Chain A
Amino acid sequence: MKIFDPTAAPSPRTVRLAPRPARLEGVRLALVENTKFNSEALLRKLGDRLGRRYGMTVSLVHRKRSPSHEIEEHVLPALQRQADLVISGIGD
């Protein structure tokens, strides 16, 4: 008799990370908020601090469909064009 394995590991997917900014000063910042309470407030506060500390500018704020959904594919080109750095986070 055998044990049959009912599990499945996640299927591997190669992800290429974007190059990291060489320096933080002056970069264009995009904020991706997930619709939870205080998500946008938290991220904007973070953007303000980074602006004061490094001269970053918030170039785009995107509101996801929900915390459960991935970021929409059609938003990615705008993020690539308009931002050097993206911060995504949650609130509650």
Chain B
Amino acid sequence: MTGSADTPEAGDPAALIEAYFAAGYTDGLPVVPPTEKSIADMLAGARLRGEAILGEIAGRNTLVTAEKAAINAVMAGCRPEYFPVVVAAIRGLCHPDFAYHGPASSTGGSAIVLIVNGPIVGVLGINAGNNLFGQGHRPNATIGRAVRLVMMNAMNTRPGLLDRAALGTPGKYSFCFAENEDGHPWEPLHVTRGFAIHESTITVYASNSLYQVYNQLAATPEPLLLCLADALANLGVPNVKGFNESLVVLAGEHSEVLRGSGWRRRDVQGFLVEHARRHVADLKRAARLPGDVVPADETTWRHVFEAPEDILLVCAGGRAGSWSACLPGWGTKWTRSVTMPIEGPIARGETP
């Protein structure tokens, strides 16, 4: 095993945890100190050899090996059967369309949002329900944490250096959840991206904020979607400068309104594209666009989105409660979400 060193406090677990803090290897929380066996078990979880290359960020001279990913996954608290999910996420980060450098290093301080689909969700017990973005579920917490630790430690994305976040977000510690594919109004996210329903995937998406949208009275799509469109087009949202993706997570009651309406996914996306907009005059007064306001600006719309597929619709969260969430994307088409297959028997739903 490369890159290891004897510790002066051999045999003292607490001292070992402190040694990882002292070395600057942690995200601020204690880590699980790896052992030869736990790293080997982690690699075996994805049937990978340590020297396997998971991805490359050419512009940063960064190569991610399976061994380094496994060490970080152990530190994060992952079980070995989670490792195929971590590996797929890292491959997504290294995909050219994700354009890692921007979302990883920008002052915008994005969380890497990981959305899991397919049979692996049930096998690993990844939460798709109550308290979706919150605490309490080991796979959600540790898979997302492992990916951030890999970024920090193995991809040179350290705060203050090549992570220049002005504020960041708590989602930078960990941000992983599954889509609720049961009772879904439409086909799940990965099927819209060309995968079969029986395949397992992870979608990697960069977002620096999350705000919850409440509407307890809407019984039809229009009023509900007007609330979401308004939230997606506030004056401070990064996307007003151009066109990017946004993620909309519909929890149970709002999903049910849409399912009962007969609206297709495309109908919902089209409505949001049409209504997520501001007058140019508003944007100029708020200095989100340059120039003086001219009379025509008062009636000229500037749309936030360019195309229906720029809005990622995901159904997840608790069945009770009139909530959904908007997660604006980072940048202006400088990064795109990427969906990667999760490989191995566990991804086909086989119990490890």
Contact = CB atoms under 8 A, between A and B. Distances in A.
A68 B39 contact: no
Interface of B: 1-7, 10-11, 16, 19-20, 23, 25, 33-36, 39, 58-65, 68, 71-72, 75, 99-103, 149, 153-156, 241, 290, 331-335
Interface of A: 1-13, 35, 37, 66-70
B71 A2 contact: no
Contact of A2 (B5, B100, B154, B333): B5
B68 A1 contact: no
Nearest to B2: A5
Nearest to B98: A68
Contacts of A67: 102, 331, 334
A27 B156 CA distance: 38
Contacts of B290: 37
Contact of A66 (B36, B59, B153, B333): B333
Contact of A1 (B7, B62, B72): B7
Contacts of B101: 68
A4 B39 contact: yes
8 contacts: A1-B11, A2-B1, A3-B5, A7-B25, A8-B64, A35-B332, A67-B334, A69-B334
Given A5-B4, A7-B68, A66-B331, 5 more contacts: A6-B75, A6-B154, A8-B156, A68-B101, A68-B331
A81 B23 CA distance: 48
B153 A8 contact: yes
A67 B2 CA distance: 35
B248 to A, nearest CB: 23
A7 B58 CA distance: 17
A1 B58 contact: no
A8 B68 contact: yes
B87 to A, nearest CB: 15
